[in-house]
Amino acid sequence: MKKVIIINGPIGVGKSTVGKLLCSKLNKSAFLDGDWCFDLHPFIADKETKEMAVDNIIHIINNYLNCSHCDYVVFNWVMDKMEVYQKIINSIKINRMYLYEVTLICTEEALTDRWYKDNLCEWRIEEWLNISKKSLDYFRGLDTICIDTSGNTASGVTDEIYSIVVKEVL
């Protein structure tokens, strides 16, 4: 049976790091970062490009689900609009599939600390940090498996998700 693990949460909470680690622990798995499907230069975030990104995500996830060599799909992206989240979920449901909806959250202090330690991302600027902080309450309110990453390592969060996925499948 196929398993899809969606990792949602604010910018900078650790979705990509945890998603990659989780994928490396799961046999026959694929990792998809939604940002890859929205990587335009120059970056333009309008109705057309957002719809294109969602269509790309749905297409790639469904291709992985149809692949006999793939049992797990680990997908992460910032989905701070319920209609985007629902469109993706409603478009990937197949018969005999487990869906794990995980939201990573943290305190404002932990988010700020991570933000300034991430030197690899050139758009980690104050404006986006403030947007991310403002979105924390939205993500806390989602009806998903919610994991607080404050004071936890990426490996610890990964192990927590892994134990949920493996336990429920057995």
Domain boundaries, the chain: 2-169
φ, ψ at 37 (rounded to 5°): -90, 5
Q: Which residue did the predictor score with more confidence, 41 or 77? A: 77
User: Is the pLDDT assigned to residue 51 strictly greater than 60?
Assistant: yes
Task: Judge residue 112's burial from the number of C-beta atoms within 10 Å of its C-beta, 0-12 exposed, 13-18 middle, 19 or more buried.
Answer: middle
Q: How many degrees, rounded to 5, is the angle at CA 43 between CA 42 and CA 45?
A: 140
115-130 pLDDT, tens digit per residue, is: 888 766 666 778 889 9
Task: Find the range with the poorest average confidence among 16-20, 66-70, 91-95, 159-163.
Answer: 91-95
Helix (H, G, I), strand (E, B), or coil: what is residue 84?
A: helix
- List the CATH code of the domain at 2-169: 3.40.50.300
